[in-house]
Amino acid sequence: MNKKLSSLLQYVFFLGLGIFLVWWSIGKIEAKDWNEMKDALRNARYWLVLPVALALLVSHYSRAIRWKILMEPMGYRPSTLNTYFAVLIGYMANLAVPRLGEVLKCTILARYEKVPADKLVGTIVAERAFDLICLVIVFFITIFSQIDIIGQFAGEILEKLLGGSKGQFQPMRIGIFLLTIAALFFIARYLLKRLSHIGFIQKLKAIFRGILEGLTSVRYVKKKGWFFFHTLLIWFLYLASIRIGFYAMEPTSGYGWLPSFSVLALGSVGMIVTQGGIGAYPILVQETMLLYGLNENIGKAFGWLLWLVQFFLVMIAGGAALLLLPIINRKTVKGTTPQS
């Protein structure tokens, strides 16, 4: 399939999914529920948007520094400001087309810092690999720190999948489930070997190989301590932005760090499922807060509030970065190198 057509189909699919989720979510809201949501949003403490936005901007700055650390073993030391602007523009581009941001921020550094874009691909893979690990860790912390809420919820799902008619676990079903997983693993491994000549299989293997290489590439990083520090800081600031966000609405102001972990975990899934989390993020935040007894409409309003803050922040910061880049790099455009 033509690469442009494939990208177009992906764009249409993810955008369509997001619009459908927005329509589906809004379509279920009755008149009285709309009034409750409007009241919750009308009485929100919007000044708290500022510290939430600041936390997210600092996390993006920390991400830029971490990216620079990954480039150092290759001998490249781009300007921190250019790297930061590239990250912001990348986030904005991802709102339009999935994965466009990763390509765009590499080409921006290639233009203004003379860093070959193709050599930055490995650093992007490494970043995504470690972010995936962090997300998995967040899920584990969320589940095991809240067995009574999240653990019970996960247990109910497992009971439906593996339990009998009375909801009791049956060893036979569990055994069949585990054997099925093992069989699928070995079948997939066998097919990957036998069908390795097929283009799609080669691309799939290349993706897994790239993730593995990205994870192992950190051994070449000279500042390993700073790399892991910024990785933790990025995710802590994500968590802190949600924690501060709870104070923005009176009904959610009493929730602490553990619910913040839950919103971060499931909200991150929403960001992955659709472009920029449109539709999916507010729904998943709402469903998460239902587990803590929050009113459905308030939960929906809170989800939309969090998403809108992130959306407009990315649009404004990314747009500003796009305008400022050529201004602060006038010397580069004329042929000289900017100061790092």
Cα 88 from Cα 108, distance rounded (Å) = 11
Task: Please provide the average confidence, as pLDDT, over all residues in the chain.
Answer: 77
Number of separate domains in the chain = 1
Give the model's pLDDT for residue 59.
96
> Mean pLDDT lowest for which of 158-162, 179-183, 214-218, 311-315?
158-162
Residues in Cβ contact with 140 at an 8 Å cutoff, skipping those fewer than 6 apart: none
More confident residue, 264 or 21: 264
Contact, 139 vs 265, CB < 8 A?
Answer: yes
Q: Which two tokens stand for residue 115?
A: 């860093």
Does residue 19 surpass a pLDDT of 90? no
> Mean pLDDT lowest for which of 24-38, 103-117, 121-135, 222-236?
24-38
Question: How much is the average pLDDT of 81-107?
Answer: 85
The verdict on residue 243 lying in a domain is yes
Give the model's pLDDT for residue 336.
47
Does residue 83 surpass a pLDDT of 80? yes
The verdict on residue 18 lying in a domain is no
Give the model's pLDDT for residue 137.
92
More confident residue, 74 or 51: 51
Contact, 33 vs 297, CB < 8 A?
Answer: yes
Give the model's pLDDT for residue 18.
47
The verdict on residue 34 lying in a domain is no
Range ranked top by mean pLDDT from 3-12, 110-119, 131-140, 205-214: 131-140
The verdict on residue 20 lying in a domain is no
The verdict on residue 194 lying in a domain is yes
**pLDDT tens-place string over residues 110-139:** 888 887 777 777 788 888 888 988 999 998
The verdict on residue 35 lying in a domain is no
The verdict on residue 21 lying in a domain is no
Give the model's pLDDT for residue 155.
60
The verdict on residue 6 lying in a domain is no
Cα 260 from Cα 254, distance rounded (Å) = 11
Domain hosting residue 177, numbered range = 45-333
